[in-house]
Chains A and B, each alone.
Chain A
Amino acid sequence: MIKISHLVKNYGNFTAVDDISFEVAKGEVLGFLGPNGAGKSTTMNMLTGYLSSTSGSIKIGGVDVLDDPLNAKRLIGYLPEQPPLYPDMTVEEYLSFAYDLKNCKLNKEKHLREICEVVKITDVYHRMLKNLSKGYKQRVGIAQALVGNPPVIIFDEPTIGLDPKQIIEIRNLIRTLGKEHTVILSTHILQEVQAVCDRIVIINKGKIVANELTENISRAVENTRRFNVKISGPQRDVLALLRNLPGICYAEVLAARDGDAYTYMIESEVGIDIRKKLFWALAERKWPLIGLEALGMSIEDIFIAVVDKTAPEAAAAKAKKKTRYEGVRAAEEKELASDIVEKTVKDQENASFEEESTDSAYYEDHSIKEDTFASEGEKNEDRKED
């Protein structure tokens, strides 16, 4: 649905986006991550035709954004970082303006009502935008992007300023949208990406450093070899046992103490599930195992590792400050990060220059059933009845 190839954006001598290529399939929810100033917003602005690219091409549903901006823009609903609201308008006027601006052909009254129900702004429908709270403003911004039911929806940090309940609602909304629309989502909140997105693209210093399915990353995150175990028993003997147990390559005592129980951190060798073995070994000695906690990597760790890997100077400075324990912990993420980065770099190199024929693009049917939102609304009503 979206095809970005060799996109470059220069601001004078500064290269904000440096030769990035990726594709987003129809119905996919793509999470777009990156530290501040990585080029996320620039990329999104180019996708939506707000900025032009220095070189490279962007095709939305086969339509080039620079060659045929009007038709490309017709396919996109965009929520910028700061919702573009006119403070002097009511929600109704504003959405009606967005409707006219996009030159929609749906039933206006019904369409706007449906959208308001989906993003839950019906109760402020007649209020002035300047009097709304940040959360409501954000939701009106989202509503504006949904007007006209465009097949591609681009959200730049949609959940900023929302309360936790609203965040969950918006995430559910994005997931629902993802069924029929192509969604690109930029965010700083990594759990959000994990919860909502099918695929993650991480960008740093204008280059794509990771492009991976979310499930692959999650799986990697779960396959940990490290555990915190809490064992009730003489500390020295337990530690000796742990260190001598075949399959464990590292063990140390952590400071936390609970009665006669100590917490130990162990790391198993690659490809072994140490937990059963550990249980039986302890049972033999009659040292009760009080707790076993898998030290999973969080997606944050991976993100930081990936970003650090692509910015060596910063990583080196950081490494100096790290304690031994953190050093050990970080090793695994670094491995994973380098895998991801290498794979992405390889993919980028293989990215083909070939140009698809776009003649048929105009006749592609991008229409989405008119009742995308209606069905959702009905579902909600059903739930209430239950």
Chain B
Amino acid sequence: MLAIYKKEMRSYFINPVGYVFIGVFLALSAALCCYTTLQSNSYSTASYYYWLILSMIIIIPLLTMRTFSEERKMRTEQMLMTAPISITGMVMGKFLAAMTIYAGCLAASCVNLIPLYVMGKRESNPDEGVVAGPVTPEVVGSLLGVLLIGAVFIAIGILISSMTENQLSAAVITIAVLAVMLILNMLNGVGSEEEGTRLINNYVVRYIIDWISVVSRFTNFQYGILDWSALLYYVSMTFIAIYLTVRVYERRRWA
């Protein structure tokens, strides 16, 4: 697993893909932060992190598209599959490498919040009881939430990459799947319960949509609440996708 992890990390930095991902991530997060906080005269980071999650739909596939499809195309998977490592180890190595890059970017993007804290410190006046600036627990909670959602997205991206031989189709399908998950969640939120104007009324359908829509569970994190059920949900979604990836490889051996 360690060998795979090291190789993946190196490949992110020999190829432009790693740099493109880091560059796009940081530029996008900076722009979003600017727009949602400074531009809108708000210290609340809630909408910043919400938009960051939306943008992950487009940029996470950059990170995951080549993980397995490239190996398959270059026939190098034959080397991995005949080496004395387990398939789980192989998938985990790749997943952890992608997670490392992603978590690194997320950590680096915290720089965006410095202006907010600086401004907040200037505006707040403890003597008069005026406290301004972003709420640190909210920021920490959101970061954790974004990290967990990113893990789910990466695991899904890796799963889709393992099913195709072409990087580009892996990326496009991943974007489509993630976007559908998100759009379903939005449709679920249309209308209101009290006025009876829900777009989707069927309880079962609502339940299923809620179950697969990753974003709906993010709200509690946004408010700085550690929601254990959501945490468990994200971790299980990640492991389900990883498990399915392992199955894809097992299945191919038996085909």
Q: Which B residues between 1 and 16 are near A, CB-CB below 8 angstroms? A: 2-4, 6-7, 10-11, 14-15
* B120 CB to nearest chain A CB (Å): 45
Q: Which residue of B lies closest to A73 (CB)?
A: B84
* B8 CB to nearest chain A CB (Å): 10
How far is B78's CA from A144's CA once the two chains are assembled, in angstroms?
Answer: 12
- Per-position contact with A for B220-255: 1 when CB-CB < 8 Å, else 0? 000000000000000000000000000000000111
The answer to whether A50 touches B84 (Cβ under 8 A) is no
Q: Which residue of A lies closest to B85 (CB)?
A: A101
- Per-position contact with A for B82-108: 1 when CB-CB < 8 Å, else 0? 111110000000000000000000000
Q: Contacts A93-B10, A97-B3, A100-B3: A84 and B85 contacting too (C-beta < 8 A)?
A: no
B114 at interface, CB cutoff 8 A: no
* A287 CB to nearest chain B CB (Å): 63
Q: Contacts A86-B11, A88-B14, A93-B10: A73 and B83 contacting too (C-beta < 8 A)?
A: yes
* B15 CB to nearest chain A CB (Å): 6
Chain A residues, CB < 8 A from B253: 50-52
Chain A residues, CB < 8 A from B76: 84-86
Binds B, one of A75-83, A160-168, A192-200, A311-319: A75-83
How far is B15's CA from A316's CA once the two chains are assembled, in angstroms?
Answer: 56
How far is B79's CA from A257's CA once the two chains are assembled, in angstroms?
Answer: 58
Number of interface residues of B (CB under 8 A): 25
Q: Which residue of B lies closest to A150 (CB)?
A: B84
Q: Contacts A50-B253, A101-B3: A76 and B82 contacting too (C-beta < 8 A)?
A: yes
Q: Which residue of B lies closest to A99 (CB)?
A: B3
The answer to whether A49 touches B79 (Cβ under 8 A) is no
B130 at interface, CB cutoff 8 A: no
The answer to whether B84 touches A100 (Cβ under 8 A) is no
The answer to whether B75 touches A80 (Cβ under 8 A) is yes
B74 at interface, CB cutoff 8 A: yes
How far is B89's CA from A101's CA once the two chains are assembled, in angstroms?
Answer: 11
Q: Which residue of A lies closest to B70 (CB)?
A: A86
The answer to whether B84 touches A78 (Cβ under 8 A) is no
How far is B84's CA from A85's CA once the two chains are assembled, in angstroms?
Answer: 18
Chain B residues, CB < 8 A from A80: 75, 78-79, 82
The answer to whether B74 touches A85 (Cβ under 8 A) is yes
A358 at interface, CB cutoff 8 A: no
The answer to whether A88 touches B15 (Cβ under 8 A) is yes
The answer to whether B84 touches A84 (Cβ under 8 A) is no
Chain A residues, CB < 8 A from B82: 48-50, 73, 76, 78, 80
A103 at interface, CB cutoff 8 A: yes
One of B4, B10, B77, B86 near A101 (C-beta < 8 A): B4
Q: Which B residues between 171 and 229 are near A, CB-CB below 8 angstroms? A: none
Q: Contacts A71-B84, A85-B74, A87-B74: A97 and B15 contacting too (C-beta < 8 A)?
A: no
16 examples of A-B residue contacts, CB within 8 angstroms: A11-B255, A50-B78, A50-B82, A50-B253, A51-B253, A52-B253, A80-B75, A84-B74, A84-B76, A85-B76, A87-B74, A88-B14, A97-B6, A98-B83, A101-B4, A103-B3
Known A-B contacts: A11-B255, A49-B82. Give 11 more (CB < 8 A).
A49-B81, A70-B84, A73-B82, A80-B82, A84-B75, A84-B76, A86-B11, A89-B14, A101-B3, A101-B4, A103-B3
Interface residues of A (CB under 8 A from B): 11, 45, 48-52, 70-71, 73-74, 76, 78, 80, 82, 84-89, 93, 97-98, 100-103, 144
